[in-house]
Every structure is written in structure tokens, then in C-alpha cells.
Amino acid sequence: MQAKIFNKRVKDILKNYNLIPSNNHYQYSINTPFGKLDISPNATPRIKVYTLFMRFETWDESKLKQFQELYSRVDTPSNNGKWNHHVQDPKWLLDKLEEVCSSMEYLGGKK
């Protein structure tokens, strides 16, 4: 998938959750029950890597425990709050982005 198409699909997904770019065109933020989550998708089709960089603004052991109880024990952020995904399948990454936004919105009580 071309980067242009990937970026358009990312914008469409994030627009559904009323997320607008923050500091630059490719960084978004969403408020979650675990704190602010910065999201920065990146496509590098030349080497067939698509990345979803995510990081919680503040992160500690209590938030990790809460995350594991409410969201997932398997797919968890690292100790510093980074929650990145690097894959070759852009569709998988777009689905993951949709899942994260939907889940965080649901857990936050917005739907």
C-alpha cells in the first residue's frame, strides 16, 4: 500500500473519533482511562514496514495493572509507556488503530 493511501485511511479512522493532529500532521492524541495516549502512524512502503507509534504521556506500575485488567494482558505497553507496533501488513495496522481508538473511547465512557 502506498504511503499516501495509508495516510488517508489513517486520517479517515481518526476523524471518526474526532481526533485532529496535534504538533504536526502525523501526531494525534486521545484521552484514555490510562491517561493521554499520543498516536503517530508511519508508512514506509519501500521497505514494507508500517508502524503505529503510541505512547502514554505518563506511565507507572499502577496504570499498567489497570491496563491489564481493563484492556489486555497480552498486548501491553512497555515500562516507559511505549506501545508500538511494527508490521508488514498495512491492513492489520489500520485495524489495530481502529481497535485502539474504539476500545479507548469505550473504556473512557464516551460511547
71-103 residue pLDDT tens:
988 888 998 999 999 999 999 999 999 999 999
Residue 54 pLDDT exceeds 90: yes
Domain residue limits, the chain? 3-105
pLDDT in tens, 5-33: 998 999 899 999 988 777 665 688 888 99
Q: What is the pLDDT of residue 99?
A: 94
Query: What cell was used for 59?
Result: 506511565
In words, the CATH class of domain 3-105 is: alpha beta
Query: What cell was used for 4?
Result: 499516501
C-alpha distances out from residue 111 to 6, 38, 93, 108, Å: 27, 20, 23, 8
Alpha-carbon span 61 to 78, nearest angstrom: 10
